[in-house]
Structure 1
């Protein structure tokens, strides 16, 4: 690696680190202010609240890495153009393509870093923040098992939910066991195949109720009418159901196959599984686009123009990426296309920009 390439890499990662710190600090500060009233109401320690907000927002570092990479390359080459460094290097026989080579390597490093963080640190942090939010702040005794089965306690009842679909607000495999007020003895059990939220409570359908009979045994009866289940909101269930970003690559893969075998719809998880592979590569695409924007601008246009174009490109990226994922969740696009479309489109856009860098 030449001295020039080392210089470019050093400057790139310096600006990248500065932008990431500023963005993450702003996100944490804003989110903390939004949560501070809840901390006070729950009598939760405000310093512990800072740690909670950091944990729940660690995923922002991963999500913002492609955008920060784009802006870092724009700022790097914008400053080099303003200081006539690009002109001097080109005059010394170094082409713009050679200037970009170290940034391509930086893009690959960031791709690997994003994948590692998304597989290790982020799932642990999100699961920990979920536990703090539900148990220590909201004081709710609710949790999930490894397979996303939900257990919670409401009054004298213990509720088990085998599967909860966030998009449609439907339950599958519900079991409610009620216990005696004085002794820990079950007095009633309700098993329902499905449940749907009607806006006020959950309506359980196709239920079997088991109760003690007067003769000392158990009496079971089938109820085809809807049975209400109160005390549990969709927000409570949605906050504890593991999202794809809370699972590692192989954990998500195994979960998808397990749920498919049991007959559940896993379209959303299939889209997220493809996105786990496609998203890190956007770091490389964004570095190419940012370099193309900065190196194709005229010197008199200045850094603000390049940064403005970079922010505009980042905005278009998020809109297009989110739109594609939404179409995939709605089964209007296959999971592979929904997740990889942004990579392909922005790779082509970067290629078009780089045609004129010389």
Structure 2
């Protein structure tokens, strides 16, 4: 490891560490003060409040890492340019790629770290934060639980309890006319179990599909079992192609299911998508999210490829450092717009899931790689 490599690596690490720490602290403070009134109103203890905030930090780390890399590239090279170090290095024969190589290696390392961090810590931390907020702060009972790639939802009532087992969540690409966003949610491989106060099974419905028709739930291709038939002769079993049932839950009550699916890690979501496709269900939205989990881990490297060559071209004097910060914010905003557009098109099916998730990386990464390879020596 050369002296130049160690020096640039150390300088970039110092700037990166400061930026990461400041952004993480800002996220913590903003989130804390946004929720301060709720925490005080529900008399949450200090230790529980801090534990809740700590559970939210892993998700912020994933968001902050690429932004920190974006800013650190401009600032590190800007400071080196202000101290005339870039001029001295180039005069001594050091090429641009040799100078920025430590920063690219740092960005690649952060990509690997970000992926495994998001896979190992973020899903469980998000679930724990949601559990604390609902059960400890809002004082509501936990209604959903993830088992493998299935979600169970519990709905208590004065008459007993209703349990829902949802195999797959499907977001329709073409909502039914006049039915609004509620009609977009379709639940597949559903079982509905109605229990009395003594937890005795009164009724069970198993269906391939469950959707909201605007007034009640519509079930397709299923079987209904009732503990007592209308003539009191014992249990009744009925097979149906389509059947409407009145249930106390409305589509918004199943947002818990959507949250559980969205909190899956990469490998759990891959299992979910594979099972959905194997059984013939549309998993376009979830497949887009699956590709995005890998694409998002590469944000640090993509931003580094795009911003480092630009930073090497900014004059060190005449406000070059401030200009670099402004440009980095502008690039980050443009990158986010392209990314959000691609994800929306991927979720809707207008673009293939791979292109929807990877579009921003392919555009900015290709431009950055071309720019990096043609960087003046």
Tell me the TM-score range normalised by the shorter chain: 0.7 to 0.9
Match of 2:48 in 1: 48
- Equivalent residue in structure 2 for 1:287, among 291, 301, 304: 304
CA displacement, residues 295-340 of structure 1 (integer Å, 9 cap, x when unaligned): 1012224211111111111111111112112111111111222222
Match of 2:269 in 1: 252
Segments of 5+ residues of structure 1 without an aligned counterpart are none
Tell me the matched-pair count: 355
- 2-side partners of 1:11 and 1:35: how far apart? 37
Decide which moves more: 21-30 or 208-217.
208-217
Match of 1:210 in 2: 226
What secondary structure, in the 3-state scheme, does the structure 1 residue paired with 2:6 have? Answer: helix
Match of 2:169 in 1: 164
- 2-side partners of 1:116 and 1:204: how far apart? 41
- 2-side partners of 1:34 and 1:95: how far apart? 48
Residue 174 to residue 341, structure 1, CA distance change in 2 (3 Å): closer
Match of 2:147 in 1: 145
Match of 1:309 in 2: 327
What secondary structure, in the 3-state scheme, does the structure 1 residue paired with 2:351 have? Answer: coil
Contact 2:226 2:236 in 1 (8 A): yes
Task: Give TM-score, length-normalised by structure 2.
Answer: 0.83
Residue 41 to residue 263, structure 1, CA distance change in 2 (3 Å): farther
Is 1:227 aligned with 2:245?
A: yes
- 2-side partners of 1:42 and 1:188: how far apart? 38
Is 1:338 aligned with 2:338?
A: no
Q: What are the residue-to-residue correspondences of 1:1-358 with 2, within 5 Å?
A: 1-138=1-138, 139-142=140-143, 143-155=145-157, 156-162=160-166, 163-165=168-170, 168-181=184-197, 183-191=198-206, 193-197=208-212, 203-206=217-220, 208=224, 210-213=226-229, 215=232, 217-220=234-237, 226-231=244-249, 234=252, 237-238=255-256, 241-243=259-261, 246-247=264-265, 249-299=266-316, 300-354=318-372, 355-358=374-377
- 1-side partners of 2:376 and 2:46: how far apart? 51
Segments of 5+ residues of structure 2 without an aligned counterpart are 173-183
- 2-side partners of 1:311 and 1:178: how far apart? 53
Contact 1:148 1:242 in 2 (8 A): no
CA-CA distance at 1:269 after TM superposition: 1.8
CA displacement, residues 175-216 of structure 1 (integer Å, 9 cap, x when unaligned): 4433334x33334445555433467x7524357361424646
CA displacement, residues 228-257 of structure 1 (integer Å, 9 cap, x when unaligned): 22245526534664345532x332222211
Residue 252 to residue 194, structure 1, CA distance change in 2 (3 Å): closer
- 2-side partners of 1:198 and 1:47: how far apart? 45
- 2-side partners of 1:45 and 1:240: how far apart? 30
CA-CA distance at 1:95 after TM superposition: 2.5
Decide which moves more: 209-218 or 157-166.
209-218
